[in-house]
Every structure is written in C-alpha cells, then in structure tokens.
Homo-oligomer: A and B are copies of this chain.
Amino acid sequence: METITTEQKIIRAADKLFTQKGYAATKTRDIAEEAGTNLALLNYYFGSKENLYKKVVQEKLRLLLGAMGSVLSDENISLEEKINSITENYTALLLENEELPIFILNELSVNKELFVNITRNTRQIAQPVIDKQLKERKLGMSAKDLIINTLSLTMFPFVAKPLIISSGLVNADEFVEFVTKRKEKIINWIIKTTK
C-alpha cells in the first residue's frame, strides 16, 4: 500500500514549482496549494522556504551530477564507452527532466550563496585517467575538451530547447526524436571512428 506522507507531498510540490519557476518566483502559498495542504504545514515540516529549497536543490544536483557517475575515472572503460555512457545517461535523464539543467545552471549563477560547498565532492580524479587514454590512442585532444564537448553536444539542445524550437530549427513534436537520433551521432563527432 502506497502511502504518501504530507511531508513528501510538500517536497514533491516544491520540487515541481522550484524547478519550473526558480526560487524567487515560487510562492510558499503555491507550494502548499500544489501539495493539497496549507502554508502552516510547510513551516511546520521545513522551518522556512529557504530550507525547503535547499532540500530540493541538493537532490536535483545529485541527480544531475550522478549521471556522470564514476564512469569517467575507471581505467577499464574505453573512451568510446565513456562518451556513450554520458550521452546515454544524460539524454535519458533530461528527457525525463527537461527543466533540470536550466534550473540548476540558472540557480547556480543567480543564487551563488545558497550553493556553497554543495559541489565540493565533484573534484576531478577523472582528468588524468582520460588524458592517459587519449595519449595511448594518439588523439590530439585534452581530457578537458573531451568532457566539455561531450556535455556540450548532449546537454545544450535541452538547455536551449525554447530557442531551438522558436527559431524553427526543430519542431516541438520532433524534439524527442531529434535528441534520440542525435545521441548516436555524438560519439562520431567527438572521436572520428568513421574509418
């Protein structure tokens, strides 16, 4: 039997609204209404709007960074597999959470104070491993470029979706197909495996 506590209802409502509209534009009254309860319970469970927001953000950030996982720093995983893993994971994640990256990136640039020490655990152990793999393969590219290019090509269409659609480059109802097919191409754009 699936029982959802009031606390969970509130956090889900907060998740939805914060992600959609950002911190400042989201009203605690709206969260309470969306959760089917009232304002007082929000403060009863979480103390303040800011507290609730931090809970949501930490979860979202974990979700976004987790998709990269520990794949990058594993020596036994080839470059191709690494790139494929990232594009696969992020495309799947972002198809399910389209507003996630722009939310994180925007709040990260707008509410800098609220994010201190959240991303500390993402330090790069992966970079030397990937540089070694690139050297062995004699590919003239740095790990830095490889990671950033993979993320750019995978995530940017989601981040810039409204712009891409309103500019007519891709139709709204073709978008899912577009990023799904694109997923397969990215590996070839990054490493020229077209021998």
CA distance A115 to B162 in the complex (A): 10
State in angstroms the CA–CA spacing of A110 and B185 once bound together.
30
Contact of A152 among B65, B110, B152, B170 (CB under 8 A): B152
Q: With an 8 A cutoff between CB atoms, is A169 at the interface?
A: yes
- Secondary structure call for the A interface: helix
Copies of this protein chain in the complex? 2
Instruction: Tell whether A43 is near chain B: CB-to-CB under 8 Å.
Output: no
| Contact call B151/A156, Cβ cutoff below 8 A | yes
Contact B185 A122 (CB under 8 A): no
The chain B residue sitting closest to A120, CB to CB, is B166
A-B CB contact pairs (8 Å), 15 listed? A20-B110, A102-B105, A105-B163, A106-B106, A108-B163, A109-B161, A118-B166, A119-B166, A119-B167, A123-B168, A149-B153, A152-B152, A155-B156, A156-B156, A156-B159
